């Protein structure tokens, strides 16, 4: 992105020299819909960003302009607006209010926001906005950065201002991402381990379906409720469990028959996906490509058949990738019902892969996909 243009626009609008902050989007390599079940996930931050230009104010007023949306809004930190308005600035005000409730003393600020993360593609554009704005608020208020508390503030904004009962993964990786690494995150304890991506001959290629089906938000919350229902039923037999994370696959097999059919499917996915994620962390760190391919394929099948959050367009992209030269793994990534697939592609085959996928996906869907070659990047920071 053109940071000079952002600075120029800021100076023209506010007459001041801003400080610049950025936070990345993310792609989840494996571990889907496990985060809100206290499970394991393995995302990486990507080199696509939300950038925030900002200066502090002497009052409690906040002015925000989005270049991407060509919209502006003002609000007062001391007079919280109604939550869940369905507006883009719910993410901004939601983070500010979450930080205030955690004890932070924030100053008002003037902001301009820009982003090159596709909206609605499942690459966490919303978490990137939350983290970038939260980071900017803290720095401009001369407050220390606690990255885990910042991630939790972003999640709080999603829950209470946006109305999405998401897990912690997206905000966590946007704050704590590390270049050339993924993170294996324990979503219960928030402990994490950096996973070196020992894949010098391969690139991460994200294919955007360019569709987002309307039921995505409502179905996401329904899936969460189904998982909670499964825990409630299984707890009658396994009283010590707190979440699906605590159920072994052998225990699930013994007691699955007491669960309603759909709840059984959701629980099966989560329990197996946790196992796959831990196995994939080892496979990535050791460069075991054959194992990665199997784990990613199994993850997609489970999301399609058991968790039922895939869609025609995602399945087409994964099927097409399976026939391409140099592909070592492909699966849907993100919440589902549209969005993106993540593909591990040999560097020498990337151009061939892109051309073939574009041609064949259009032939089957009449949609031109967007394809992004991404690198694992660092988390939120100030741009000096």
d(CA 43, CA 28): 4
Lookup: tokens for 307:
């968790």
Residues 6+ apart with CB under 8 A from 92: 62, 64, 73, 111, 113, 129, 133
C-alpha distances in Å from residue 36, one per residue of 60, 124, 274, 280, 281: 34, 16, 12, 19, 19
d(CA 7, CA 13): 10
How many C-alpha atoms does 205 have within 13 Å on its Cβ side? 31
d(CA 61, CA 77): 6
Rounded to the nearest angstrom, the gap between the alpha carbon of residue 18 and the centroid of all alpha carbons in its chain is: 28
**Which helix (H) or strand (E) covers residue 195, if one does?**
strand 192-196
C-alpha distances in Å from residue 382, one per residue of 15, 18, 178, 224, 245: 21, 11, 15, 35, 36
Catalytic, 201? Answer: no
Q: Which of 38, 90, 110, 170 is catalytic?
A: 170
**Hey, which residues are catalytic here?**
170
């Amino acid at each position: 992105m053109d940071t000079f243009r952002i600075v120029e626009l800021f100076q023209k609008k506010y007459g001041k020299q801003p400080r610049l902050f950025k936070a990345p989007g993310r792609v989840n390599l494996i571990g889907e819909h496990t985060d809100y079940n206290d499970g394991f996930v393995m995302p990486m931050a990507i080199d696509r960003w939300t950038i925030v230009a900002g200066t502090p104010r002497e009052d409690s007023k906040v002015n925000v302009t989005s270049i991407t949306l060509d919209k502006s809004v003002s609000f007062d930190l001391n007079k919280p607006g109604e939550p869940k308005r369905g507006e883009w600035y719910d993410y901004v005000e939601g983070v500010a209010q979450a930080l205030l409730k955690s004890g932070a003393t924030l100053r008002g600020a003037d902001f301009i926001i820009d982003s090159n993360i596709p909206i609605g593609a499942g690459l966490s554009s919303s978490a990137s906005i939350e983290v970038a704005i939260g980071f900017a608020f803290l720095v401009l208020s001369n407050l220390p950065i606690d990255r885990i508390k910042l991630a939790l503030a972003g999640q709080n904004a999603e829950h209470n201002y946006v109305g999405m009962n998401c897990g912690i993964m997206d905000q966590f990786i946007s704050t704590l991402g590390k270049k050339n690494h993924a993170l294996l995150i324990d979503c219960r304890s928030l402990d994490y381990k950096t996973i070196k991506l020992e894949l010098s001959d391969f690139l991460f290629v994200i294919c955007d379906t360019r569709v987002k089906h309307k039921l995505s938000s409502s179905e996401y919350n329904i899936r969460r409720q189904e998982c909670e229902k499964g825990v409630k039923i299984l707890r009658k037999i396994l009283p010590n469990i707190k979440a699906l994370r605590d159920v072994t696959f052998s225990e699930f097999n013994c007691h699955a028959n007491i669960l309603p059919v759909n709840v059984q499917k959701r629980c099966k996915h989560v329990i197996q996906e946790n196992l796959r994620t831990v196995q994939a962390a080892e496979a990535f760190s050791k460069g075991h490509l054959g194992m990665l391919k199997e784990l990613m394929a199994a993850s997609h099948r489970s999301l399609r058949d058991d968790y039922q959050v895939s869609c025609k367009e995602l399945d087409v992209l994964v099927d097409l990738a399976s026939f391409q030269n140099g592909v070592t793994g492909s699966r849907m990534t993100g919440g589902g019902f549209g969005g993106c697939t993540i593909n591990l592609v040999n560097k020498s085959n990337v151009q061939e892969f892109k051309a073939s996928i574009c041609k064949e996906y259009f032939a089957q869907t009449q949609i031109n996909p967007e394809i992004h070659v991404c690198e694992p990047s660092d988390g939120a920071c100030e741009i000096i």
